[in-house]
Structure formats: C-alpha cells, structure tokens
C-alpha cells in the first residue's frame, strides 16, 4: 500500500474512488470510513454493477458535482441520507480510465437536529463522536455565557460537565447507544466563568452501517443558573440575553437604558432595578420581570 493509499484509508470522511471507461463504471477503492458508513466490505462494493450506479445517480466522472442529498442502502438494509460531492481526478494520458473522488457525508445527525429545531426552541445543538468530542456545533450561546475563548466545539462534553455528573452521563450515553433510542437528561456543568449552570439535553445515537454507534447528536433545550447562583439576577439576565442572542449594547439600544446600567445589572452591582427599567428589559427579552428579579424598586 502506497503512502497515498494509507492516507486515503485514514481519512475520517467517507470516500470512494470511481473509475469510468466508455459506459463501464466501477468502484476502484473505498476508505474505511465509507465501509463503516455503509456496512459493506470493499469486495462487496467492487462487485456492484457500475452501470446501475451511473444510471441511478447520473454519474459523469468528468464533472465536479455536489448533490445535496441522495439515498443509499446499508448492509443492515436501512436507508441512509447522504450528501455527496464528486471531484474529477487528474487523468493519466497513458490510462484509458477516467477517475473521480466521491466524498460522502451521512446526514442522519443533521436531519435529526433539524427535526428538533422544528419541535421547539433549541439553544444549542451539535454532534459528538464516541469519545464525546464535539465536532459540530450549531446555534451556540456558549460564547455569550462563558469566557470569550471558551466554546463547546473541539472540546469534549466532559470538559463542561460537573465532575460529579461524569459517571451518570457516561452511563446514559451507553444506554442510548445500546437501546438505539434518544435519551433526555438534566445535568449540571462545572463552573464556567465562575458560574454553575443546569442544562436540559437530549441525545440521539447515530448508527453506522454495521449497526454500531460512533456518534451522538444532541440538543440543549434550556440553560438555568445552578448551585449558589440559582437565584442570582445578574446570572439570570446573562442567560436570558444569551438565549435571545443579544449583547449588552443591543439591549441598551433597544430599551433606551444606558449601557452603563445594563453592565451594572449584568455584573451584579445593581441587584434590584427600578420597575420601569426591569419592565423595559423584560419586554425586550420577551419574559416576565419575575423571571429575573423577584422584587423591584419602586
């Protein structure tokens, strides 16, 4: 196996190498990721009737093509929605075959996330691998809650979950993978920027072509202050602003309240605002004043 072939096999993105001559089309090679996605061995893939593939997917290896979504069937006979990109490879003048690289991406996790967004208000969503490493993140309110250089993406979920919760989350994910069912849970984070939070999450196991769970899609439905900050108005204000994706400057401009006052409310220097101030902020955030402040100044 050449160095290039070894690299091809190690790539995490599912890929095929196709070759075409006149009306004959064959699968020349597939990497491990593609075989895991479909559950089919390289021998099986090579035995596929290329004419059927060409007709079904209208393949022309001389063109670069991005197909938004196609259906393929796995070894477990499940239908898999994938996004496919086809890239022509340089042609060898001494070789009569035309080749192209086909890059595939399983859309199962993304489609499930879309379904959750249609069900209700999702604060954050993403995909993590079997090591709980977050490889994709959408609608992240994290930068508005944590330090500017902190994000869930490219971190493990355990990095943000309270250590006392690690055993429970690992067990829940094992059960979700074994039972092939989504699971919901409420977890507490470690202290982020000095604040402990409570998260309401749902996880969904993503099976590969062999029926094994290598990924989990997740959504975060709600975020609340927890621990010693459970009743802290400044933390509640930050969270509601993060939920509405609103900065201090935007809130000040929308309400007519000075940025200095907004900042003092956010950092806890003003714990009980005047009623009009609280009502203007609550109205802009679409909540009741009591969702943040239990009592107000007259």
Domain that holds residue 22: 3-106
| Token pair listed for 108 | 């199962």
- CA 278 to CA 139: how far, in whole Å? 27
pLDDT in the model for residue 154? 61
| Token pair listed for 169 | 């989350």
Let me know if residue 296 belongs to a domain. no
**Percentage above 90 pLDDT, the chain:** 51
Q: Is there a single domain that holds both residue 43 and residue 16?
A: yes
Please say if the pLDDT value at position 252 is more than 90: yes
- CA 280 to CA 298: how far, in whole Å? 14
pLDDT in the model for residue 280? 95
Please say if the pLDDT value at position 297 is more than 90: no
Number of domains in the chain: 3
Let me know if residue 73 belongs to a domain. yes
Let me know if residue 126 belongs to a domain. yes
pLDDT in the model for residue 144? 55
Among 135-149, 233-247, 272-286, where is mean pLDDT lowest? Answer: 135-149
pLDDT in the model for residue 149? 47
Q: Is there a single domain that holds both residue 138 and residue 89?
A: no
Please say if the pLDDT value at position 55 is more than 80: no
Let me know if residue 244 belongs to a domain. yes
Band of the pLDDT at 54, cuts 50, 70, 90? low
pLDDT in the model for residue 150? 52
Q: Which of 57, 80, 106 is the last residue of a domain?
A: 106
Q: Is there a single domain that holds both residue 131 and residue 152?
A: yes
Q: Is there a single domain that holds both residue 115 and residue 217?
A: yes
In 3D space, the residue among 263, 200, 261, 272 whose CA is nearest the CA of residue 232 turns out to be 272
Let me know if residue 96 belongs to a domain. yes
pLDDT in the model for residue 148? 47
Q: Which of 73, 106, 139 is the last residue of a domain?
A: 106
Let me know if residue 297 belongs to a domain. no
pLDDT tens digits for 198-217? Answer: 999 999 999 888 888 989 99
User: For 102-125, what is the mean pLDDT?
Assistant: 91
Let me know if residue 44 belongs to a domain. yes
- CA 2 to CA 30: how far, in whole Å? 15
Please say if the pLDDT value at position 146 is more than 60: no
First-to-last C-alpha distance (Å) of the chain: 78
**Percentage above 70 pLDDT, the chain:** 91
CATH number reported for the structural domain that contains residue 250 in this entry: 1.10.260.40
Band of the pLDDT at 229, cuts 50, 70, 90? confident
CATH number reported for the structural domain that contains residue 162 in this entry: 3.30.450.20
pLDDT in the model for residue 141? 57
Q: Is there a single domain that holds both residue 162 and residue 241?
A: no
User: For 108-126, what is the mean pLDDT?
Assistant: 91
Please say if the pLDDT value at position 120 is more than 90: no
Q: Is there a single domain that holds both residue 156 and residue 194?
A: yes
Q: Is there a single domain that holds both residue 95 and residue 10?
A: yes
Please say if the pLDDT value at position 155 is more than 80: no
Q: Is there a single domain that holds both residue 8 and residue 86?
A: yes
Cβ distance 61 to 18 under 8 Å?
Answer: yes
Q: Is there a single domain that holds both residue 120 and residue 212?
A: yes
Q: Which of 68, 88, 106 is the last residue of a domain?
A: 106
Please say if the pLDDT value at position 69 is more than 70: yes
Whole-model pTM: value is 0.82
pLDDT in the model for residue 19? 92
Query: 266 or 245: which carries more pLDDT confidence?
Result: 266
Please say if the pLDDT value at position 133 is more than 80: yes
The whole-chain average pLDDT of the chain stands at 87
How many CA within 13 A on the CB side of residue 150? Answer: 13
Q: Is there a single domain that holds both residue 211 and residue 262?
A: no
pLDDT in the model for residue 145? 57
Q: Is there a single domain that holds both residue 115 and residue 221?
A: yes
Let me know if residue 298 belongs to a domain. no
User: For 41-67, what is the mean pLDDT?
Assistant: 80
Q: Is there a single domain that holds both residue 115 and residue 218?
A: yes
């Amino acid at each position: 196996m050449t160095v290039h072939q070894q690299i091809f096999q190690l790539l995490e993105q599912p890929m095929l190498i196709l070759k075409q001559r006149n009306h004959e089309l064959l699968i020349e090679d597939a990497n491990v990721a593609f075989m895991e996605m479909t559950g089919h061995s390289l021998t099986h893939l090579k035995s596929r009737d290329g004419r059927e593939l060409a007709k079904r997917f209208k393949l022309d290896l001389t063109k670069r093509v991005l197909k938004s979504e196609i259906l393929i069937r796995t070894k477990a006979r499940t239908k898999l929605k994938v996004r496919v990109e086809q890239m022509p490879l340089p042609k060898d003048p001494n070789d009569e075959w035309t080749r192209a690289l086909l890059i595939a991406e399983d859309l199962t996790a993304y489609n499930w996330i879309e379904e959750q967004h249609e069900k209700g208000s999702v604060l954050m969503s993403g995909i993590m691998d079997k090591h709980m490493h977050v490889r994709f993140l959408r609608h992240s309110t994290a930068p508005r809650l944590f330090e500017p250089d902190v994000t869930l993406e490219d971190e493990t979920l355990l990095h943000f979950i309270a250590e006392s919760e690690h055993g429970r989350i690992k067990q829940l994910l094992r059960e979700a993978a074994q039972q092939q069912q989504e699971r919901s849970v409420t977890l507490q984070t470690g202290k982020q920027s000095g604040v402990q939070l409570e998260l309401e999450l749902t996880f969904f196991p993503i099976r590969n072509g062999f029926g094994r769970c290598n990924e989990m899609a997740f959504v975060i439905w709600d975020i609340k202050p927890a621990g010693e900050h459970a009743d802290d108005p400044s933390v509640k204000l930050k969270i509601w602003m993060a939920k509405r994706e609103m900065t201090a400057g935007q809130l000040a401009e929308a309400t007519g309240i000075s940025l200095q006052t907004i900042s003092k409310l956010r950092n806890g220097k003003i714990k009980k605002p005047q009623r009009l101030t609280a009502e203007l902020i609550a109205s802009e955030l679409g909540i009741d004043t009591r969702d943040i402040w239990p009592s107000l100044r007259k």
